[in-house]
Chain A
Amino acid sequence: MPELPIHAQPLPSHGRTRAFAVPLVLFVLALALWQGPWQFHSPVPEATVVPAWAIDPTPVRRPKLRPQIQLAGFSYTCSDCHRFFSSPPETIRSLTQHRNVELKHGINTRCFNCHHLTNRDALVDDWGREIPYDQPQLVCAKCHGPVYRDWLHGSHGRTNGYWDLTRGPQERRKCIECHDPHVPPFPPMPPAPPPSTLRMGEQGDGHHDDAVNPLRLRPSVTHEPAENPTVPDGGTEAEEYVP
């Protein structure tokens, strides 16, 4: 009887009865996997609905840059009325007309700081000379020198179009295309939707408690992801910050 090398030796007797156990297990596994267990359910959330305004590059204001007013379907220039009705130079805010104009421009509370006293179709500079309506930045520059300087160099204000002027035009937005001259702070706006990335879990609104902040601007904020404790509405809450 020739000796067999180790790998050719027969199985011990108990091995034979189990000889088909291995294929059986693998077959069962094959069957199980063919069924496609653990089908993948995507954790990808629905796409956030992004409102159209969120990607609209239109400036927040569209001033006419003309001394013009629409009234009862007709268009008038300012002087159409004001050549007949003069207004007192020291008018502050007891207006009979222009009641819709809300003037909240800091200490600048006089109409004729900016508007020309005699020619209502123009604005006015520091020497009483006229500034045309399409050059409002010259009026603003009377008080806001550093901002005007920054605007001239492009560090303040919007620049649209081409950065390379050899390839296309550039648009510089004038002051009043963003700022209402009568209420100059940039208007608050609703934010576009917050991020909602894959598997980010509950995130809350992320307000931290104020324990380590010396300013204590947001007193008594807890970890409650409840509503925003301070809802700014155009600056009326600014009292806290008045020096």
Chain B
Amino acid sequence: MNAGERSDAGSSPTGANTSGPRLTRRGFLRKGAAVAAGASAAAAALSPLKDLAPEDVPSLAQFLQKHYKEMTPPEKEAVLNRITREVKDRYGVAATVTDPLPLTGVEFVYALNISRCIGCRKCVHACVAENNQSRAPEMQYIRVLQMEKGSIDLERSAHHYDPPLVPDEASYYLPVQCHQCAKPPCVKVCPVEATWQEPDGITVIDYDWCIGCRYCEAACPYWARRFNFTAPQVPADKLNPDLGYLSNRPRPKGVMEKCTYCLHRTRRGRMPACVEVCPTGSRKFGNVLDPDSEVAYILRHKRVFILKQDVGTLPRFFYYFDERGSRYHEPIAPVLPEEGA
């Protein structure tokens, strides 16, 4: 294209190339040295990989494993067996790994009474224990927010409160976990369909399919998703051996996880761990399609609100409160003249 440039490019080669063999030998040496140096530098750059933990290198079976929805029953069986074996090898625990399926005619809904919650965080830790979340680094699905009375501004909430006793007189408490939205933005954004909504309303993750892009974490308006920034650590003696494929089986590093309403329990008719442990009975769980269920009663008769309803994700997690307010509504220490005398 630049023909004009070429004509004035005048000087001839230096002429040193007349002695062919010497040049070739030198050139060969030079090239050989460059190749060797390049190769060794590349190898050195890759050297940290020698510390890669064996379980981090996917086996052929793991590499070829199909997406959860594509697995045939025998394939799923083989995968569940493999996980059982892995748990045995890694934790020395004989676990039962199952994959309970969604129940027909069931849609799970959660309701939480903010008049009664005292912010004791027992739900947080019961959840960790039940779902085999990493203890270090710490991962928790539930975050209890200490809210100022007279305000519902999340940005003025305290997450790290630690007074000697709760509840704090000037606060109320708002525990937040996955809201199992009917229009989940996290599912929408996943590029590989590693997360989806089940027929009973629970949004689950296939930990063997997630590529760890954390787009869902950015998309969640409730900050309900967690990422395994490193290999999760669960002490073997604390491992809950009742494992579900889509819920609490041990997760590898580099994948997302989240609350599943304890589906390995709830799909067998039991309550989630957070409901079981709540000392005040603020947490309510059940099948909203059953008109006699507690949650159906609450939605019909109580004043209910949804956190961040403006984002329009239609959560299956409702906050409600009692008509007569909280325990502070009425004086609990009446002044009695006889006592004072």
Tell me the A residues contacting B by CB distance below 8 Å.
Answer: 1, 3-4, 9-10, 12-13, 16, 19-20, 22-27, 29-34, 36, 42, 44-48, 50, 54-57, 59-60, 92-94, 104, 106-107, 109, 146-147, 150, 153-164, 166-168, 173, 178, 183-186, 188-198, 203-208, 213-215, 217-218, 228, 230-233, 235-243
- A168-B270 in contact given A27-B41, A195-B143 (Cβ < 8 Å): yes
**Interface 1/0 per residue, B265-286 and A, CB below 8 Å:** 0101111000111111100111
User: How many residues belonging to B are interface residues under a CB distance threshold of 8 Å?
Assistant: 101
Complex CA gap A167/B271 in Å reads: 12
Check A23–B158 contact: CB distance below 8 A: no
List 29 A–B pairs whose Cβ atoms lie within 8 Å, in order of A's numbering. Answer: A3-B13, A10-B23, A23-B36, A26-B40, A27-B37, A50-B128, A55-B125, A93-B338, A155-B294, A159-B284, A159-B294, A186-B327, A189-B120, A190-B120, A191-B163, A192-B120, A193-B125, A194-B161, A195-B159, A196-B138, A197-B138, A197-B139, A198-B137, A204-B160, A205-B161, A205-B163, A213-B150, A214-B150, A215-B170
Nearest B residue to A32 by beta-carbon distance? B44
Given A20-B30, A27-B40, A215-B148, 12 further pairs, Cβ under 8 A: A23-B38, A30-B40, A44-B137, A106-B330, A162-B271, A167-B268, A193-B125, A198-B138, A205-B158, A206-B159, A213-B148, A242-B331
- A160-B164 in contact given A30-B44, A109-B334, A241-B169 (Cβ < 8 Å): no
Complex CA gap A150/B145 in Å reads: 25
> Is residue B72 contacting chain A, with contact meaning CB distance below 8 A?
no
Tell me the B residues contacting A by CB distance below 8 Å.
Answer: 13-18, 23, 26, 30, 33-34, 36-38, 40-41, 43-45, 47-48, 103, 111, 113, 116, 118-122, 124-126, 128-129, 135-140, 143, 146, 148-151, 156-170, 229-230, 233, 266, 268-271, 275-281, 284-287, 293-294, 297-298, 301-302, 320, 322-324, 327-328, 330-334, 336, 338-339
Complex CA gap A198/B330 in Å reads: 41
Check A45–B136 contact: CB distance below 8 A: yes
**B residues within 8 A CB of A20?**
30, 33
Nearest B residue to A230 by beta-carbon distance? B169
Nearest B residue to A237 by beta-carbon distance? B169
Quote the shortest CB–CB distance from B335 to chain A (angstroms): 9
**B residues within 8 A CB of A166?**
269
Quote the shortest CB–CB distance from A43 to chain B (angstroms): 8
Complex CA gap A57/B287 in Å reads: 22
Check B13–A162 contact: CB distance below 8 A: no
- A107-B334 in contact given A24-B37, A57-B276, A159-B284 (Cβ < 8 Å): yes
Closest 7 CB pairs of A and B: A206-B158, A167-B269, A154-B294, A164-B269, A33-B44, A26-B37, A158-B281
